[in-house]
Chains A and B, each alone.
Chain A
């Protein structure tokens, strides 16, 4: 792998803008890396090789002519294929949108390009972002670059794997119940689920509109902040977009709040939590204490209730949002059907995969007459209680520290036959979506087998800055996946030893 791809996004952008590094060289290195490893990893569903080369050439030209370039100049970015791209696709890893060509581009995609980042391709995901392993893709699963027999997490598994494997330097995913944070944990990255409303969802194919957020994925807190800054901010095209400016001064990442207090919900660390994750959690707590944090035991509502609440509300919204895929205006239409209703039913039956059908039916059930009160209305009330409890807890602490997932990356096929077991792997991430507040996952060690472990900080409303500052402080005391990883034998040899295999720092 070229050393260029070991540089951080900020280093690449700084060198490109000074003329010390050509954007074209970075893009060629990324495309060569993709050609080398993507047949095994399968992070990408489509590439934009030629447009990326043209963009790089154009950026280099502007640098040569002395013109100003953007904050992400020449940085190769991978984008989840549920974000619309006017010049490409938005398959959502579904047969129903296999040949769909969007008529406009997502705001997030336009904004990274406006900062002169180069979108090199669209990444694999669980179909319509429904899943936690990437195994629900209609186009085959993505493999975890740390161990190709394991899942990269989901649903933004392709975006995580692309950055972990060095095929891109940054990526965009979406997070409805943990879909950037859990794959970041499984692949050894930093990923932020922003405050609901801080990042425009215009052009993101909707799954559950009250929960969906687009999230940046990177190898460090600083790079994550850089990408967040490029895409965040009000967008009149998204009615849920907030008017305030959420961007973060990068210099502010150096300072932590005075009298820093972190909440630890000990009752959440029981059943189902892998002992290796637990000990990594304790070690992370100790490192934050060494940074001056005071740890406070917190009582929060039973996370099992959050799982039920989430799967009722998310699926109800999904059943409504996915009603638009009916074979009329775009997407797959069943052939040889001469009746309108049969056309809807067969087009959807043929186009959607099993997990999407399961969720549509579940959502239809909880919204149906006779069950609405018992399920949907109850879950709405439970969400309100959860939010209240979270807000009360966050009055006393700056953030809540919990693992990102109860286990490290599991094997392909290990949970795919048991949807409920798969849902339970989201137990630590869904709460922040239900509450709406920001949360970040960051690398915090590795298992004996050398698989990355991720920890999570859930923050106050609108406060991404404190979360990323905490992650940066943690980076100063720990080399991410590195120390444990270099002691373990490389599982696949894909990342090798050396700086890349040692957590990129």
Chain B
């Protein structure tokens, strides 16, 4: 059974703030779904070695620089919510003051 503090922990890991109105329903849904998924325990996988599935084959390519767009920086920044002197701007990490930025 997923406890409220478990949900808090998951939200912290996923960097997700949930409105209070969504919490109870989500916890119930997750519980039911995870319970269903536990049916996998019926399956004997003791003889299967670990690791992800291999793909059919790998395709290799030479590691060469491709053709770059003329204004790469401008293109990358054009969708940014906030920019500063040609960089992405974010609120302070240590100091709690807001980033000084230009609205994109």
Of the stretches A28-36, A338-346, A448-456, A472-480, the one at the interface is: A338-346
How close is A26's CB to chain B, nearest CB, in angstroms?
32
Q: Residues 1-36 of chain B: 1 if any A CB is under 8 Å from the residue's CB, otherwise 0? A: 000000101110111111100100010011011101
* Contact partners of B79 in chain A: CB under 8 A: 99-101, 103, 329-331
B: contact size bracket: 35 or more
B30 touching A365, Cβ below 8 Å: yes
Of the stretches A122-130, A156-164, A240-248, the one at the interface is: A240-248
Partner of A345, one of B17, B76, B81: B17
* Contact partners of B40 in chain A: CB under 8 A: 305, 308-309, 312, 375, 378-379, 382
Residues in A205-221 with C-beta less than 8 Å from chain B: 210
Partner of A361, one of B26, B57, B78, B98: B26
Please judge, given known A-B contacts A305-B43, A309-B40, A349-B16, whether A343 and B33 are in contact too, CB under 8 Å: no
Q: B48 in the interface, Cβ–Cβ < 8 Å?
A: yes
Interface of B is mostly: loop
Partner of A344, one of B15, B57, B82: B15
A361 touching B16, Cβ below 8 Å: yes
Of the stretches A12-20, A290-298, A383-391, A492-500, the one at the interface is: A383-391
Residues in B30-87 with C-beta less than 8 Å from chain A: 30, 32-34, 36-43, 45, 48, 50-53, 55-57, 59, 61, 69, 75-76, 78-82
Interface of A is mostly: helix
Partner of B30, one of A329, A361, A378: A361
* Complex CA–CA separation, A206 to B37 (angstroms): 23
* Contact partners of A375 in chain B: CB under 8 A: 34, 37, 40
Which residues of B are interface residues toward A (Cβ below 8 A)? 7, 9-11, 13-19, 22, 26, 29-30, 32-34, 36-43, 45, 48, 50-53, 55-57, 59, 61, 69, 75-76, 78-82, 88, 90-93, 96-98
Which residues of A are interface residues toward B (Cβ below 8 A)? 99-101, 103, 195-197, 210, 234, 236, 239-243, 301, 304-305, 307-309, 311-312, 319, 323, 326-333, 337-346, 348-349, 352, 354, 357-358, 360-362, 364-366, 368, 374-375, 377-385, 387, 419-420, 423, 436, 461-462
